[in-house]
Amino acid sequence: MGWHDIGYHGSQHLSTPNVDSLAADGIVLDRYYTQPLCTPSRGALLTGIHPIHSGTQHFVLFGASPWGLPLRYKLLPQYLKDRGYSTHAIGKWHLGFYRKEYIPTNRGFDSHTGFWNGF
């Protein structure tokens, strides 16, 4: 979804009444609160920390990379499992898989359907 695809940003071709209502009644975060690439974005979402602190800030993680999102960080699905939730990942992982400790099912997800790499 692009910037101008939302009604409150002036979209003339898409109707987004629910998003528009949330924006009107809540807080709009529109000052670059995300990363422009998938590895840093996923890492930030799952750890709750800025990518510069996990070493994922520079670019995407390539398939042959001998590293991944550092194991010292507890991820969102691990917190959710502590609270009794089932956790499932769908889609690409793209946070490392060069050792079995880095794959999604060893980072808190009960299951994962998708690719470990970017494609």
Catalytic residue, chosen from 9, 38, 50, 53, is 38
Residue given tokens 């949330």 in the structure block? 22
Is 94 labeled as catalytic in the residue annotation? Answer: yes
Is 58 labeled as catalytic in the residue annotation? Answer: no
The angle subtended at Cα 34 by Cα 81 and Cα 75, nearest 5°, is: 20
> What is the C-alpha to C-alpha distance for residues 41 and 49, in angstroms, rounded to an integer?
10
The dihedral through the CA atoms of 91, 92, 93, 99 has a sign that is positive
Catalytic residue, chosen from 4, 88, 94, 112, is 94
Helix and strand totals (H; E) in the chain: 3, 2
Active-site amino acid positions: 38, 94
